[in-house]
Structure 1
Amino acid sequence: MDKELLMECRRNNRNAQRQVYEKLAGKLYAVCRRYLKNDEDIEEVLADTFFKIFTKINQLQDLETFEAWTKKIAVNECLQKLRANKKLHVSLEENHIIADEAYEEASFEKDILGLLHFLPEGCRAIFNLFAIEGYPHKDIAVMLSISEGTSKSQLNFARKKLQELLTSRNI
């Protein structure tokens, strides 16, 4: 991201903020989509993310890390939304998995990450944090107020379910 553009954002230049929004909206939407199913929730979290980005940009020490910083904000906003909706319940129960009929109707050939939406909310969050975002189990446990063992078991459960889904769809 262009440093001068970010400096203009620090000066509350609305045109610069619009340019940053246009450059990052798609990427941050994809991050939010990995955590949230509902389009309204995604849009709300995305708006909250950009609000936080533009109101906290002066706190960012190194503008070189801007994009990583924005992604971290988006992830944290998604987790906050899941907690607020009480959807971060971590469970191994099979009845949280969507029925086979709904699975057959879905088309995942274009976006394999769509399979994540067939996982329970808590499992999906842990899988995203570990496998995609790269957080260690210790950090995930702190972020979600769970034990490291729970984080590890939920990751294992998510991997098994994803493998089953991939196998059943021959993807």
Structure 2
Amino acid sequence: MTLEALIQGCKRKEANAQSELYKRYSGVLFGICLRYSPNRTEAEDNLQDAFITIFTKVEQFKEKGSFEGWIKRVTVNTVLQKYRKKRVFEIKEESQIEDVGEEEVFDEGFPLDFLLKIIQELPERYRLVFTMYVMDGYSHKEIAEMLGISDGTSKSNLARARGILKIKVVAFKK
């Protein structure tokens, strides 16, 4: 089935089209959910929530731009909405913000499962900002808008996430 036919089938709420869409994209979307979730079980729940949202809102896809890009954005927004409701972000005064350098935390080859594990162990507010900034390339302004926080809070949470990760990386090297 072509992508266009698949999308049209999903818009008509055809179960076979929805099943095929799930088979094609569940792997890549699960990877996104893993990065944003504290554990595999929650990532699985987030994936299911994302597909429910995708199937519900597929009519909104206007075939401008990439469909895969659209479903990735829907997935990220679905997961972030869950965390926004939890109010996991602490507000910091601008004077408390640490300077965030552009150096990468991981300068050597580390096992992927180790990296995912230590990222998932971060407190939610740090994990979300770290994932959005470092792994998905959002700016602090975009992160602030998406999470309903200030640019300064985004920068502060990124600095704290990097600090925690550096400590874990150093401990792993020893």
Shorter-chain TM range is 0.7 to 0.9
What does residue 151 of structure 1 align with?
A: 154
**Using the alignment, how far apart are the partners of 2:130 and 2:145 within structure 1?**
15
CA RMSD of aligned residues (A): 2.3
Which deviations, in whole Å up to 9, do the C-alpha atoms of 1:119-145 show, x marking residues without a partner? 111011001111112211111112222
SS of structure 2 residue aligned to 1:70 = helix
**Using the alignment, how far apart are the partners of 1:75 and 1:138 within structure 2?**
16
Structure of higher RCO (CA pairs closer than 8 Å, 6+ residues apart): 2
What does residue 114 of structure 1 align with?
A: 117
Q: Is it true that 1:4 corresponds to 2:5 in the alignment?
A: yes
For residues 124-135 of structure 1, the aligned pairs below 5 Å read: 124-135=127-138
Q: Is it true that 1:51 corresponds to 2:22 in the alignment?
A: no
What does residue 97 of structure 1 align with?
A: none
Q: Which runs of no fewer than 5 residues in structure 1 stay unpaired?
A: 93-107
Which deviations, in whole Å up to 9, do the C-alpha atoms of 1:91-132 show, x marking residues without a partner? 89xxxxxxxxxxxxxxx8342222112211101100111111
**Using the alignment, how far apart are the partners of 2:43 and 2:147 within structure 1?**
19
* Residue identity in the other structure for 2:137: G
Q: Kindly indicate whether the alpha-carbon contact (under 8 Å) linking 1:90 and 1:120 is maintained by their aligned counterparts in 2.
A: no
SS of structure 2 residue aligned to 1:62 = coil
Structure-2-length-normalised TM-score:
0.78
- Give the deviation of 1:148 after TM superposition: 0.7
Q: Kindly indicate whether the alpha-carbon contact (under 8 Å) linking 2:91 and 2:149 is maintained by their aligned counterparts in 1.
A: no
Q: Kindly indicate whether the alpha-carbon contact (under 8 Å) linking 2:89 and 2:149 is maintained by their aligned counterparts in 1.
A: no
The 10-residue stretch of structure 1 (59-68 or 10-19) with the greater mean CA deviation from structure 2: 59-68
* Residue identity in the other structure for 1:67: E
SS of structure 2 residue aligned to 1:7 = helix
What does residue 126 of structure 2 align with?
A: 123
What does residue 97 of structure 2 align with?
A: none
- Give the deviation of 1:38 after TM superposition: 4.3
What does residue 168 of structure 2 align with?
A: 165
* Residue identity in the other structure for 2:25: L
Query: Equivalent pairs: percent with the same residue?
Result: 38
Q: Which runs of no fewer than 5 residues in structure 2 stay unpaired?
A: 93-109
Which deviations, in whole Å up to 9, do the C-alpha atoms of 1:51-100 show, x marking residues without a partner? 111121111112651111111111111112223334x23389xxxxxxxx
Structure-1-length-normalised TM-score:
0.79
- Give the deviation of 1:40 after TM superposition: 4.3
Displacement over 6 Å in runs of 4+: none
The 10-residue stretch of structure 1 (57-66 or 72-81) with the greater mean CA deviation from structure 2: 57-66
Number of positions where the alignment pairs a residue of Structure 1 with one of Structure 2: 155
* Residue identity in the other structure for 1:43: E
Q: Kindly indicate whether the alpha-carbon contact (under 8 Å) linking 1:137 and 1:148 is maintained by their aligned counterparts in 2.
A: yes
Which deviations, in whole Å up to 9, do the C-alpha atoms of 1:27-59 show, x marking residues without a partner? 212211212224443333222211111121111
What does residue 144 of structure 2 align with?
A: 141
* Residue identity in the other structure for 1:109: P
